[in-house]
Amino acid sequence: DQQVKQNSPSLSVQEGRISILNCDYTNSMFDYFLWYKKYPAEGPTFLISISSIKDKNEDGRFTVFLNKSAKHLSLHIVPSQPGDSAVYFCAAIDQGAQKLVFGQGTRLTINP
Amino acid sequence: KAGVTQTPRYLIKTRGQQVTLSCSPISGHRSVSWYQQTPGQGLQFLFEYFSETQRNKGNFPGRFSGRQFSNSRSEMNVSTLELGDSALYLCASSLRRGGAANTEAFFGQGTRLTVV
């Protein structure tokens, strides 16, 4: 039962363009969402988060959008840079159950 | 301050053996969670320990177990290894339980387990 889904296993984007990574969730009890970035041979590192009371959070080139009615969130990276090439994991927190649940990840490749 | 430390980094075991992985969280962090990463499955939650007690458990068989010590260091044990247990095992530490109170988790580099 995959409560957090990233339906695109991979995404390829030209350098300088916008990268959009998508994530869907099924559990309406999730109230906080995070994105993690993972390079090979390293653990995931926290990138950006958003509370369910907001619909947008921006941090430099990274913006996360949350659409609660659609149970969908997305991560926008603009402009995309070669160093952004990594696997991105979407995660959700159910604070009541105190659980952190991850999606399957999307491998982003930025082409020069 | 030091990050999350996992040992060993790489491990090769044969089917039927058992293995113990170690995770030392960031100083002051009391929550340690374990995840299994396999291609296409993302990060599958194994269990979380907080103050030496297992607080949450994922959908893994009983062959997967863990414990946490008084210094918050945690160990994960897998008995009767199967080929399908080959994966990257990651541990994450956080201040509070299960990502509660909006705290992000800090991950170690993982232990790559190969079962042959």
Report how far apart, in Å, the C-alpha atoms of A54 and of each of A23, A91, B98 are: 16, 16, 21
Query: Closest chain B residue to A96 measured between Cα atoms?
Result: B100
pLDDT of residue B100: 47
Residue B1 has pLDDT above 60, yes or no: no
Q: How would DSSP label each residue in chain A?
A: --SEE---SEEEEETTS-EEEEEEE--TT--EEEEEEE-TTS--EEEEEEETT-SEEEETTEEEEEETTTTEEEEEESS--GGG-EEEEEEEEETTTTEEEE---EEEEEE-
Q: Is A5 on the interface with B (CB under 8 A)?
A: no
Give mean pLDDT, residues B41-59. Answer: 88
Percent of chain A with pLDDT over 90: 81
Q: Is A102 on the interface with B (CB under 8 A)?
A: yes
Q: Is A18 on the interface with B (CB under 8 A)?
A: no
Element (H, E) at B19: strand B19-24
Q: Which residues in chain A are closer than 8 Å to B44, comparing Cβ atoms? A: 102
For CA atoms B56, B57, B58, B64, the dihedral sign is: positive
Dihedral class, residue B16 (left if φ above 0, else alpha if ψ from -120 to 50, else beta): left
Which DSSP category does B95 fall into?
Answer: S
Nearest to B23 by CA among B85, B113, B94, B111: B111
Q: How would DSSP label each residue in A76-89?
A: EESS--GGG-EEEE
Q: Using the beta-carbon criterion (under 8 Å), do B90 and A43 form an inter-chain contact?
A: yes
CA distance B38 to chain A (A): 9
Give mean pLDDT, residues B95-113. Answer: 77
Distance in angstroms (rounded) separating the CA atoms of residues B107 and B5: 9
Residues of B with CB under 8 A from a CB of A: 4, 6, 33, 35, 40-45, 55-56, 90, 92, 97-102, 104-110
Q: Using the beta-carbon criterion (under 8 Å), do B100 and A104 form an inter-chain contact?
A: no
In a mutational test of the A interface, the residue from B30, B50, B104 whose CB has the highest number of chain A CBs within 10 Å is B104
If you average pLDDT over every residue of chain B, what do you get?
90
Residues of chain A with pLDDT under 50: none
Residue B104 has pLDDT above 80, yes or no: no
Q: Is B28 helix (H, G, I), strand (E, B) or coil?
A: coil
Q: Using the beta-carbon criterion (under 8 Å), do B42 and A97 form an inter-chain contact?
A: no
pLDDT of residue B14: 97
